[in-house]
Amino acid sequence: MRILVTGGTGVLGRPAVPRLVEAGHEVRAISRSPRSGRAVDWRVADLASGRGVREALEGVEAVVHLATLAHRGRRTASVDVEGTRLLLDAAHDAGVGHLLFLSIVGVEHAPVGYFGHKLRAEQLVKEGGVDWTILRATPFHQWLDQWLARLPVHPVDRTVPWQPVDARDVSGHLVTLLSQGPSKTVEEYGGPQVIATDELVARWRRARDRRPPALMVRWPGRVAAAQRAGLLNAGPSAPKGRITWAEYLRPAGRAVPAAEEEPDIAGEYGGPDVEPRGRKDRVYGQDEGYQPPTQV
């Protein structure tokens, strides 16, 4: 099948594009910058301005829509919402038979900021006149890794659970969904384990041997509240990836210090075992608890 991939240079796109090629598809991909490669037909196109989008869709049977510009306010809307609208119009005119859209598990429980943009884009996909599948995933290992590496301070809310998933597993699932054709349903996909923030952060600190200052805090905002309630994790019957956070951080064959098996973030930080009462919690981050993986 001839497929157009948007966002093929991103965290998910990087493993997804070779998977699609391996599966026997003829892959065309767009980026705002010129690129070349033997196995992929790279085209320059921009979803915010529309430049190159219609040309890139000529002769395409299916679109895998991964492009995003997370956490940039109006610029996010111009790519994630208006860009999706523009892509859908062009895909409809080009006779595309299936648009597979990547979203995030639980966006409807905290439709603010980036999550709000994702929810609006989902709605456009459902109404866009092109047969569709929406795949909602939990946060990627690769994104969490970049996020923790970038933070000068690690804010740790041990009441918040994560179900991180590996972008390579998501790529494999995406290829399967594409082969099944448009389902006109919203599917979920999560990581193999649910782990609390303290364990997640402690594992990263040990694996990367980096220990910026850490604070035990209570994350504010609607996204954190939804995540605390477990609403950003995939449902129990959703398919799951195989690679755990520990395996992602510790590729096979690498020696592991014994202490890595039982991380104790409070002990490591010299922090409290329980959240302190009667003290104003330190405030962290935006309303969203989800930071952009790329700088643009």
Ligand X SMILES: NC(=O)c1ccc[n+]([C@@H]2O[C@H](COP(=O)([O-])OP(=O)(O)OC[C@H]3O[C@@H](n4cnc5c(N)ncnc54)[C@H](OP(=O)(O)O)[C@@H]3O)[C@@H](O)[C@H]2O)c1
177 near ligand X, judged by CB under 6 A: no
CB of 276 to ligand X, least distance (A): 30
* DSSP secondary structure, 217-229, as one string: ----SHHHHHHHT
67 near ligand X, judged by CB under 6 A: yes
**Given candidates 4, 6, 90, 174, which one binds ligand X under the rule CB under 6 A?**
6
Specify whether the backbone of 253 is left (phi greater than 0), alpha (psi in -120 to 50) or beta: left
12 near ligand X, judged by CB under 6 A: yes
**Given candidates 7, 15, 128, 289, which one binds ligand X under the rule CB under 6 A?**
7
CB of 186 to ligand X, least distance (A): 13
CA distance 172 to 268: 36
Of 10 and 241, CB closest to ligand X: 10
> Contacts with ligand X: how many residues (CB under 6 A)?
31
Of 68 and 133, CB closest to ligand X: 68
Of 79 and 217, CB closest to ligand X: 79
Of 191 and 271, CB closest to ligand X: 191
- Cβ contact 232:109 at 8 Å: yes
Q: Which range, of 62-70, 200-208, 218-226, 280-288, touches ligand X by CB under 6 A?
A: 62-70
**Given candidates 13, 15, 191, 289, which one binds ligand X under the rule CB under 6 A?**
13
- Locate 220 and state its tokens: 């504010």
139 near ligand X, judged by CB under 6 A: yes
CA distance 218 to 234: 23
**Given candidates 190, 241, 271, 293, which one binds ligand X under the rule CB under 6 A?**
293
**Given candidates 17, 27, 64, 69, which one binds ligand X under the rule CB under 6 A?**
69
What lies within 8 Å, CB to CB, of 137 at 6+ separation is 102, 103, 104, 105, 165, 170, 188, 189, 190
* DSSP secondary structure, 9-39, as one string: TSTTHHHHHHHHHHTT-EEEEEESS----SS
CB of 117 to ligand X, least distance (A): 9
What phi and psi values does residue 29 have, to the nearest 5 degrees? -140, 150
137 near ligand X, judged by CB under 6 A: yes
Tally of CB atoms within 10 A around 118:
26
CA distance 242 to 273: 31
**Given candidates 57, 102, 178, 202, which one binds ligand X under the rule CB under 6 A?**
102
Helix or strand holding residue 62 (H, E): strand 62-65
- Cβ contact 46:34 at 8 Å: no
Angle at 71 between CA 31 and CA 280, to 5 degrees: 155
Of 12 and 90, CB closest to ligand X: 12
185 near ligand X, judged by CB under 6 A: no
**Given candidates 68, 76, 84, 233, which one binds ligand X under the rule CB under 6 A?**
68
Task: Kindly list the residues in this chain that would bind ligand X in the complex (CB under 6 A).
Answer: 6-13, 30-33, 46-48, 66-70, 79, 83, 102, 104, 118, 137, 139-140, 143, 293-294
